Structure 1
Amino acid sequence: MLWSPTSQQAETSSPPRRESVNESVPESARQRNPGRRIAQIVKLKPEFVDKYKQVHAAVWPEVLQQIKVCNIQDYSIFHDKDSGTLFATFKYVGYDYVGDMERMRENPKVREWWAMTDGFQESLVPGAKSSESGDPAWWKEVEEVFYLP
């Protein structure tokens, strides 16, 4: 998939935002995080376009569940066939992005999914080894320059 516990901000000078939770406030009384919008890119190898679409037409239930548990919503992946770029967007609505991405990495089925899908891709991040290694991130985070809600 496309998560990184370090959430690189390569194009900006500000560090990643880290949400915190006041544990003394019951979860039912906490105000829901309105969400942090994230966009990322990676290159899809041309010989794997059909296979990539096929596996994403039937994402493993364990992977889908872990995405939800880790506070990811409104998740989409787009493909530009001319450049081979995959463009992903999602909204993070939790309170601890780094912690949730660590929890994502701890799931063996997610790591298995990443190992498979990483083989279909080429990272655009210098030094990236895999989605599982996480540092540097496999998917390159891109800066949002305009948003109209």
Structure 2
Amino acid sequence: MSRLWSSETQYPGRRFTQIIKLRPECVDKYKAAHAAVWPEVLEQIRDCNIHDYSISHDPESRMLFASFKYVGDDYAGDMKRMQQNPKVREWWKMTDGMQESLVPGAQDSESGEPSWWKPVEEVFYAA
């Protein structure tokens, strides 16, 4: 990734959006888990340069929409560090069981590629 900023300016970040389906029998459990995210998971998210992370739910389609901004300069390295955290892997195992991936061949969050959450293209953003 080429840098389009100078050392005097702050890197603006790269935005990501992803989708996945929530199992209908897991809605309450999923919301409860995210109302009390484990501190170790939150700390790892911040340590891996992820900001403005949100997950939204559409009950009619059962879709979860995640968006976040990555503000680091080594996304692959930061995601590898996240994957190495045992508490994060425990969290993923719990939440993956509540989800249905839309990505053919995806096994779980820990496996990496193909990704568990389906990346989607951002077509508009206004700051």
Structure 1 gap segments, 5+ residues each: 1-17, 21-28
Verify the 8 A CA contact 1:19 1:95 in the aligned structure 2: no
State the TM-score, normalizing by the size of structure 2. 0.93
SS at match of 1:78: strand
Query: % of aligned pairs identical?
Result: 69
Listed as ranges, the matches of 1:57-96 within 5 Å are: 57-96=35-74
- 1:123 corresponds, among 95, 101, 113, to 101
Q: Which amino acid aligns with 1:68?
A: R
Structure 2 gap segments, 5+ residues each: none
Question: How big is the shift at 1:31?
Answer: 4.7
Verify the 8 A CA contact 1:32 1:93 in the aligned structure 2: no
- 1:102 corresponds, among 73, 80, 88, to 80
Over aligned residue pairs, what C-alpha RMSD do you find? 1.4
Equivalenced residue count is 124
Q: Summarize deviations over 1:46-74 as a string: whole Å, max 9, x none.
A: 00000000000000000000000000000
SS at match of 1:41: strand
State the TM-score, normalizing by the size of structure 1. 0.80
**Structure-2 separation of matches of 1:112 and 1:129:** 15
Q: Who is 2:126 aligned against?
A: 148
